[in-house]
Amino acid sequence: MQKMPFLTLDKVKEIVKTYPTPWHIYDEKGIRENAIRLNEAFSWNKGFKEYFAVKATPNPFIMNILKECGCGVDCSSLTELQLADVCGFRGKDIMFSSNETPIEEFKFANDLGAIINLDDITHIEYVEKVCGKLPETMSARYNPGGVFTMSNGIMDNPGDAKYGMTPDQIIEAFNIMKSKGVKYFGIHAFLASNTVTNEYYPKLSRELFEFAVRIKKECDISINFINLSGGIGIPYTPEEEPNDIYEIGKGVQKAYDEVLVANGIMDVSIFTELGRYMLGPYGALVTEAVHEKHTYKEYIGVDACAVNLMRPAMYGAYHHLSVLGKENENAEYTYDVVGALCENNDKFAIDRMLPKIEKGDYIYIHDTGAHGFAMGYNYNGKLKSAELLLQEDGSIKLIRRAETVKDYFATFDFSDILDKYLK
């Protein structure tokens, strides 16, 4: 299967007249259509809600698009809570899932009316202390330990994960919370990342539904919501088949009926906290080929680097590349496509077969809509790029300007040492 850019070469040439490369760009039409599909797939559950994982793409313009699509937000820090606040998310439209959480962040989440999802039993006292009392609605993060396996092999290793409580700890925590006035309870789990299989959510949901039955029996508590968190991935390579969200929804519904309904447990809301699935394929990093080098390998140097997209350098993640205007040409040349950092892992592609690339060509790096710009940093004094939005009418909107040297030096504003550049 061929991966096709959502931008043409002519469109990029038009954009760079105003916004020089590199930049990240997002496809508004694709984002909205994907949100519709997700909501349709889980429409059988009247309480269903997607809580977009802000960490994936922390941009208020993107968050507002998803808000219009009926999504809430999943936040994991004070800054993400503040983003949710300025976008107008309130109360139960915010899920706060964090770990090793500073006490003031719990307080701010509570002030917004967010659902607090506790990562550890010891945090009960922590939240009660800072909030005066426990909120009426609380959630707990579940970690079954061991290895999470599926029919297609090992998926992840919860036993080594720092997140969540043991099942027995959650039982104890819910009994404590109940005694302290908590009325509404939820459970949450994230056991595998970036799965490209329709089996993950149904298997996870069945395990959580069975745990909800145990909670009712042992605590006399009715679980009000079950949060399947994230983990639905995207096909980064052309060979991978994408998830079928409708089949996933049907699989979760089957487990819901066979476990919850069969045990007389009704009206449990299903939540999701998707980031990569919601945004990944609907973002791209566009960069220009500015150098070529012929030594022991053939190198193409581009004006983007790992500052703009860290995933390949950090853990060898694959991102498909298209040379704009040459999408239909044969991939007959082997290149390393590299950035300018003083690190040898600053490579977007290694030994990648591509059409012949010449200086001035524009390279479209696919699937950067989630955990792309968000993971950027400033090593070597490199500055973060702009973020653009391809609107449904085809126009381009700036949704984050590129950083400047003044931004980079801004934390020296207590001193006059860099006044030359701060003015």
**Contact present, 158 and 146 (Cβ < 8 Å):** yes
CA neighbours closer than 13 Å in the CB half-sphere of residue 376: 27
Token pair of 113, please?
């009316």
Spot the catalytic one: 87, 219, 305, 342. Answer: 342
Q: How far is 89 from 82, CA to CA, in rounded Å?
A: 10
Q: Are residues 192 and 295 in the same domain?
A: no
* Residue 146, both tokens: 């061991």
For helices 123-131 and 167-179, the axis angle rounded to 10 degrees is: 30
**Residue 201, domain CATH:** 3.20.20.10
Query: At which of 258, 280, 302 does a domain end?
Result: 280
- Using the 3D structure, point to which of 232, 263, 280 is the last residue of a domain: 280
* Total domains in the fold of the chain: 2
Of 280, 314, 345, the one marking the end of a domain is 280
Same domain, 300 and 178: no
Q: What is the pLDDT of residue 153?
A: 60
Q: How far apart are CA 420 and CA 423, in angstroms?
A: 6
pLDDT of residue 152: 54
Give the integer Cα–Cα distance in Å for 156 and 96: 23
Q: Residue 381, by phi and psi: left (phi above 0), alpha (psi -120 to 50) or beta?
A: left
Is the same domain home to 160 and 198? yes
User: pLDDT tens digit string along 1-59?
Assistant: 689 999 999 999 999 999 999 999 999 999 999 999 999 999 999 999 999 999 999 99
- Residue 175 sits in the same domain as residue 269: yes
Distance CA(360)–CA(349), nearest Å, equals 18
Identify whether 342 is a catalytic site residue: yes
Confidence of residue 192 (pLDDT cuts 50, 70, 90): confident
Same domain, residue pair 178 and 300: no
Task: For residue 158, name the pLDDT band (cuts at 50, 70, 90).
Answer: confident
In whole angstroms, what is the distance from residue 20 CA to residue 398 CA?
12
The answer to whether residues 262 and 303 belong to one domain is: no
**Alpha-carbon Rg for the chain in angstroms:** 23
Task: Identify whether residues 359 and 295 lie together within a single domain.
Answer: yes
Instruction: Give CA–CA dist 84/192, Å, rounded.
Output: 26
User: What is the per-residue pLDDT across 285-296, written as a single tens digit (0 to 9) for each?
Assistant: 999 999 999 999
Structure tokens at 323: 């040379």
**Nearest residue to 75 (alpha-carbon basis) of 103, 96, 106, 105:** 96
In a domain, 420, yes or no: no
Q: Select from 93, 143, 105, 137 the least CA-distant residue to 121.
A: 143
Distance CA 360, CA 300 (A): 11
Q: Do 294 and 266 share a structural domain?
A: no
When mean pLDDT is compared across 120-129, 162-171, 414-423, the lowest value belongs to 414-423
Distance, C-alpha 115 to centroid of its chain: 19
Give me the DSSP letters along 366-407: -S-TTTTGGG---GGG----EEEEE-TTS-EEEEEPPP-HHH
H helix or E strand, kind and range, residue 169: helix 167-179
Which pLDDT does position 193 carry in this prediction?
Answer: 87
Listed residue (74, 125, 22, 82) closest to 376, CA to CA:
22
15 is a domain residue? no
Please state the φ and ψ torsions of residue 301, each to the nearest 5 degrees.
-95, 130
Separation CA 73–CA 114 (nearest Å)? 10
76 with 207, same domain: the answer is yes
Which pLDDT score, from 0 to 100, does residue 420 have?
81
Q: In the 8-state DSSP scheme, what is residue 114?
A: P
Beta strand pairing call for 148-150 and 153-156: antiparallel
The reply to whether 338 falls in a domain is yes
3-class DSSP state of 324: coil
Asked if 226 and 268 touch (Cβ cutoff 8 Å), the reply is yes
Structure tokens given for 357? 């690339």
Tokens encoding 383: 């500055």
Q: Which domain holds residue 368?
A: 281-412
Q: Is 133 contained in some domain?
A: yes
- Bigger pLDDT: 112 vs 160: 112
Q: CATH number, domain at 403?
A: 2.40.37.10
56 and 184, same domain (yes or no): yes
Q: How far is CA 364 from CA 9, 22, 26, in A?
A: 10, 10, 12
User: 213-236, pLDDT tens digit by residue?
Assistant: 999 999 999 999 999 999 999 999
Q: What share of the chain is helix, strand, coil (3-state, %, to 5)?
A: 35, 25, 40
- Rounded to an integer, what distance in angstroms lies between the CA atom of residue 13 and that of residue 10? 5
Residue linked to tokens 């964090």:
98
Q: Across residues 189-203, what is the average pLDDT?
A: 92
pLDDT in the model for residue 28: 98
Structure tokens at 384: 């973060």
* C-alpha distances out from residue 142 to 165, 270, 367, Å: 5, 15, 30
**Contact criterion met (CB below 8 Å) for 384 and 308:** yes
**pLDDT tens, 94-149?**
999 988 889 899 999 999 999 999 999 999 999 999 999 999 999 999 998 878 87
As given in the structure block, the two tokens for residue 164 are 């969540």
